[in-house]
Structure 1
């Protein structure tokens, strides 16, 4: 729920609504002003339950200086990590579940990644400087937050327009600029706002650009990229450059007990390269509008939202990959630096891939103040999604026709939900809810580049696979039921206990259902987990259903000067969507799994179990000394994930990790020394041939100085220039002959960045 301002003429009847908002983790502006903000991580207000964590203010300011990726703002929260992708398109992970398994919303819009590699996830459409607040539900989320997810929720809000006091006007803005040495990362932000007591308007824009970054040392034995005259140093992480522009224009009107706001968003991405994918994003244009209305009544509140988004997405090979493939005029295969003849029928000029989508959604919810201790909320939601994913001919004659990866893709979702919040005693409150989702999916007939099963000596099985897919019933309708029960009990002024129990469901996405080709070259282009393998869809997949139990013990000082939280969690997933290795020639599962190379897999329903423990805490060390005030913050995250059908490990699980931060404040200075420790990743997915990673420790140094209307942030990330691999960064396929499934060395993990010095300045006016 996005508020442009506090409701005009508030009445005592709004008090239960304010309490409900605090209980559910909704960020009200008046609450943000009451939060005590630690230098590194800002938690939810004291009235909010531990399963909802709130980020805003100084915490976001400090994080923005170090990144252009909004997902990375979540680093440092218990149970949270980020699966590396493109430079501005990281995928958040909560307790071992990531991407579409999370309910991620931008200003209340549940947008969908429209790319076979999920290069344009929800959070890629907003830059860090456009973010006003982030609310995270790391365990069981209330059904009012959303559905069609099994792993928690993340609600990101952009800055709303600002209204003035009656009879007054306000105007102002902010300019920011930042630079990071590793990869020559640059970003520029501008915001401006104007408001009266009834009308307000705001603009937020940002530009971000970077080159390939360097690791803390050599990680590969080759330098060739396949492009004439183009090579990369052995420490350069290829395909990590990006160039992104984001724009937001918001307008709002308010009257007696109601307000209306309209937001227009536009993104242009000329380039975003991917080190763990076979392709690069060479164009992405997103346009959206969001219309939101709220009104207060004597009985409670009515909230309605309508939105629409269009995406035009283009992929091909960037500068770090080979562009020409095939034989020169029927002769031997062309070598690096010797392109095929453009007129040869046995040559391919790149592999253009295009995606177009349209998303339309509407939400209506009502809150009823039944009594001073009871609040009832009900709502409905509809989302209409249309997807076209096609791969045009290469332009050099090798592929004569168009390959339709997903033709006329359909995913429509209709939801009904209700929840009841009860203040049983002054110390005990509960929230119970039920949600029903109907998800309908479909796709049109498939066709390949050519209606053949081979091209020259290359077996493609296009005719066979398309015929089998077209003979399959592809329309399906799922009926999913979510249940949630949250309870908070204040044992004393220094101890809170919280329990969450939930049953959640998620229907498969279109890229899990409908990619139809077993041909390895086509399959490797359908991969959104970054493991370098190829994936085949399965129209018979069932929805995933998870049962999750979480509990939190929160010990703290009465004024929360010190705090310690322990949160164990357990999730059992039936019909978990995993994969099996697939033999394209026989079109059956592989009898003996292949190891030590990239493979083709087909999605299959199996069963999974995830469990773990998240610890976090803070404490003061010294107050008001000659060197300032010192504090200590820390967290430890442990997650274990198993496929209980195959006894294999789940893919992409973050290993045991910890953060310890020593903070100092002295006048206008705010400084921190952070240690990041990550255990070796040895529990890897065997079916995917997931690459193990070694343990590591990083040292980060941070400082900021604030004036009344200005702020400077600077520091050093990975100060010791430590070499390390990203545990959830996937497999390195960022340079060379990426079209061929095993035309690249296997077994190289994507390294993290080496030392980087950063600085960012912000001036308000």
Structure 2
């Protein structure tokens, strides 16, 4: 571990600690965590290596960050949560751009599109994210991207990496490899990946329902630069085959996804630089409820969906003086969605559920930063407009079911053009009050427009945008945008061998979008005819969240280091004493790491408290406390060969994470409606060669 002093654009940034961090649910991993302070918005950057990514995605690395947890709806369907907010409220960028999934239940969330690329890292803003982080960042911002500066090299070189990983459970294996050709002016790289698992088992040695997955991917990228500019591009192809999502009504049959990126960064003069980005993605997605779980033929459903997205951004950074900078930017994003539901086993059903959904976003921002000797100030504002539209829908049973015909007619004759305008504002202040001690004050007002599923779900269906509570939902064309008024207070202490941080936050959210029992006569009648309970209709309410986070890193010798962090979050509605749904329970994690020469080893223990503050409206049940212990060890040879062995859940604990989804697979080891179990003891083996 070392203390780094970096100067970027005249701002003294102290990268205080480079430490091995380990995840909560897998064996301790060597993930270097760099917390950057001394700038107006403290943030954490977590470099990732393919050899340390033991999960199918990066959910384990995220769970090491204070205040960040992960909702799991399946082995490839992870939704990060920060301070009680998740899903669309916490956007995740992949290589500096959004990935618009096709699944209306977030079956293919952005995190599932992040691949083990060279120089990959997670960027996470602690507290209130600045307006430059993006639009609709109600809960903040997470970004999985490459440090592309590391892909260039001083001299021409050809290098590569091959990583082979396997576990003792269900023939699970994750393999990846990449090759890179580069010099000081250009690079070209190719990465390939294959991941699969046949089954997973819990601490009771029972198969976790539909814990299988399989997918493969390829990434091509290149870059060129000279003294004035840098041009870069990427193309990614991801093919997911049969994969389980036991917390949702269907499983993944296939996902064929492509995303692409291009950027130009140019130094206009000594004081001005320009960044231009262009990005997009396409997803073709099929999901069904009969191929991988028992379902009567008359209730078999196949949902064929697709999404397209195209966007771009332009940002200008200007140095006004030695102590201040100004950043301006404009962004646009256009997304399209379609969804058709059929019964391929009987051939008597077709529902045009979402027909040419359009959601367009236009946004511009300005952000000013001032840096003095003992304090830094950053203020910004962002104006955003969101426009949404939907075409007419249909249902093959409308002729025989008047209530269904009524829903179709009502939706098709309604005014489906929606628009939302709002302005975000943030203030981030950092000051030094004594030797090694800092204080932080973050305040902001952030907004988020309703997603298309909350507006345009005209038929009561289990489309919850990733809530995975097992209930049916109905859209609402009268929804308002959410407004989050945030306040964050923090302290930090740093010296050569020790770092401590703590933050206290409060969030007051007006027009929070939440399901309420439907008062819609037609929709309720259709639900009862389908044998379902009264659906929940999306409504605006007021809510608040509060909590605290703390972290400690101590390098007590050159070989030994210690890390601890914990978080507590509470969230409730304002109109009645009702907790918000699926809030992470209090948690605490400690890790110890030893490293000498090519050897390293570590251990981690995590304690998760019981969660009794649950939402009765969404039939949420309390969860019990549990603890997990993980171990790992590795040796790296001088020729680039690395061998790692690790054990997660060492004591084979049978536990149910409060953020695990609710099982919806019949005839499984867990009854329908009960929370899914986590994995039991798992031995991981990794062999990696870097040349």
Q: Give the TM-score taking structure 2 as reference length.
A: 0.92
**What's the secondary structure of 1:462's corresponding residue?**
helix
Determine the structure 1 residue equivalent to 2:335: 385
Determine the structure 1 residue equivalent to 2:169: 182
1:599-649 CA-to-partner distances (Å, cap 9, x unmatched) read: 62111110110000111112244x36xxxx333211111000001123211
Distance 1:525 1:52 in 2: 34
Residue 609 in structure 1 maps to residue 544 in structure 2: yes
Seen in structure 2, the aligned counterparts of structure 1 residues 471 and 113 have a Cα distance that, compared at 3 Å, is same
Distance 1:212 1:49 in 2: 46
Seen in structure 2, the aligned counterparts of structure 1 residues 185 and 688 have a Cα distance that, compared at 3 Å, is same
Seen in structure 2, the aligned counterparts of structure 1 residues 588 and 451 have a Cα distance that, compared at 3 Å, is closer
Residue 250 in structure 1 maps to residue 221 in structure 2: yes
1:289-328 equivalences in 2 (<5 Å): 289-298=260-269, 299-317=271-289, 319-326=291-298
Distance 1:154 1:478 in 2: 24
Determine the structure 2 residue equivalent to 1:542: 480
Seen in structure 2, the aligned counterparts of structure 1 residues 453 and 602 have a Cα distance that, compared at 3 Å, is farther
**What's the secondary structure of 2:583's corresponding residue?**
coil
Distance 1:745 1:430 in 2: 53
- Does the CA contact (< 8 Å) of 2:665 and 2:672 recur in 1? no
- Does the CA contact (< 8 Å) of 2:50 and 2:176 recur in 1? no
Determine the structure 2 residue equivalent to 1:282: 253
Determine the structure 2 residue equivalent to 1:446: 393
**What's the secondary structure of 2:369's corresponding residue?**
strand
1:449-483 CA-to-partner distances (Å, cap 9, x unmatched) read: 321464xxxxx932121122222211111001100
What's the C-alpha RMSD, in Å, of the aligned pairs?
2.4
1:397-427 CA-to-partner distances (Å, cap 9, x unmatched) read: 332xx2011111010000010000011x211
More strand by share: 2
Seen in structure 2, the aligned counterparts of structure 1 residues 323 and 689 have a Cα distance that, compared at 3 Å, is closer
1:206-263 CA-to-partner distances (Å, cap 9, x unmatched) read: 1110122111127xxxxxxxxxxxxxxxx21111211011221111111231010111
- Does the CA contact (< 8 Å) of 1:352 and 1:391 recur in 2? yes
Determine the structure 1 residue equivalent to 2:20: 38
Distance 1:644 1:130 in 2: 46
Partner residue of 2:509 out of 564, 573, 579: 573
Residue 692 in structure 1 maps to residue 622 in structure 2: yes
**What's the secondary structure of 2:394's corresponding residue?**
coil
Residue 191 in structure 1 maps to residue 178 in structure 2: yes
1:20-419 equivalences in 2 (<5 Å): 36-40=18-22, 42-48=33-39, 51-56=42-47, 60=49, 63-64=52-53, 66-128=54-116, 132-158=120-146, 160=148, 162-165=151-154, 168-217=155-204, 235-298=206-269, 299-317=271-289, 319-326=291-298, 350-399=300-349, 402-419=350-367
598-607 or 114-123: bigger deviation: 598-607
Determine the structure 2 residue equivalent to 1:230: none
Distance 1:49 1:62 in 2: 33
Determine the structure 1 residue equivalent to 2:25: none
- Does the CA contact (< 8 Å) of 2:164 and 2:688 recur in 1? yes
- Does the CA contact (< 8 Å) of 1:515 and 1:537 recur in 2? yes
- Does the CA contact (< 8 Å) of 1:409 and 1:441 recur in 2? yes
Determine the structure 1 residue equivalent to 2:582: 652
Determine the structure 2 residue equivalent to 1:466: 408
1:83-108 CA-to-partner distances (Å, cap 9, x unmatched) read: 00221231110110111101311111
CA shift, 1:544, in A, is 0.5
Determine the structure 2 residue equivalent to 1:505: 447
Seen in structure 2, the aligned counterparts of structure 1 residues 119 and 644 have a Cα distance that, compared at 3 Å, is same
Distance 2:84 2:544 in 1: 10
- Does the CA contact (< 8 Å) of 2:36 and 2:43 recur in 1? no
Residue 555 in structure 1 maps to residue 493 in structure 2: yes
- Does the CA contact (< 8 Å) of 2:407 and 2:522 recur in 1? no
Determine the structure 1 residue equivalent to 2:685: 759
Distance 2:605 2:533 in 1: 35
Determine the structure 2 residue equivalent to 1:222: none
**What's the secondary structure of 2:408's corresponding residue?**
helix
Seen in structure 2, the aligned counterparts of structure 1 residues 36 and 587 have a Cα distance that, compared at 3 Å, is closer
Seen in structure 2, the aligned counterparts of structure 1 residues 445 and 540 have a Cα distance that, compared at 3 Å, is same
Distance 1:701 1:379 in 2: 45
- Does the CA contact (< 8 Å) of 2:507 and 2:546 recur in 1? yes
Count of paired positions: 668
CA shift, 1:138, in A, is 3.3
**What's the secondary structure of 2:383's corresponding residue?**
strand
Seen in structure 2, the aligned counterparts of structure 1 residues 438 and 525 have a Cα distance that, compared at 3 Å, is closer
Residue 17 in structure 1 maps to residue 9 in structure 2: yes
Distance 2:567 2:124 in 1: 16
- Does the CA contact (< 8 Å) of 2:21 and 2:591 recur in 1? no
- Does the CA contact (< 8 Å) of 2:40 and 2:428 recur in 1? no
Determine the structure 1 residue equivalent to 2:434: 492
- Shift >6 Å, 4+ stretches: none
Distance 2:332 2:606 in 1: 42
- Does the CA contact (< 8 Å) of 1:169 and 1:195 recur in 2? yes
**What's the secondary structure of 1:547's corresponding residue?**
strand
Distance 1:194 1:52 in 2: 31
Unaligned runs of 5+ in 1: 1-13, 24-30, 219-234, 327-347, 455-459, 591-596, 738-743
Seen in structure 2, the aligned counterparts of structure 1 residues 148 and 573 have a Cα distance that, compared at 3 Å, is same
CA shift, 1:581, in A, is 2.1
**What's the secondary structure of 2:366's corresponding residue?**
strand
**What's the secondary structure of 2:385's corresponding residue?**
strand
**What's the secondary structure of 1:127's corresponding residue?**
coil
Distance 2:176 2:129 in 1: 33
Residue 718 in structure 1 maps to residue 649 in structure 2: yes
- Does the CA contact (< 8 Å) of 1:452 and 1:461 recur in 2? no
Partner residue of 1:729 out of 652, 660, 664: 660
Distance 1:318 1:630 in 2: 52
Seen in structure 2, the aligned counterparts of structure 1 residues 15 and 662 have a Cα distance that, compared at 3 Å, is closer
Determine the structure 2 residue equivalent to 1:232: none
Q: Which has the larger radius of gyration?
A: 1
CA shift, 1:735, in A, is 3.4
Distance 2:645 2:469 in 1: 34
- Does the CA contact (< 8 Å) of 1:237 and 1:734 recur in 2? no
**What's the secondary structure of 2:99's corresponding residue?**
coil
Seen in structure 2, the aligned counterparts of structure 1 residues 47 and 170 have a Cα distance that, compared at 3 Å, is farther
528-537 or 570-579: bigger deviation: 528-537
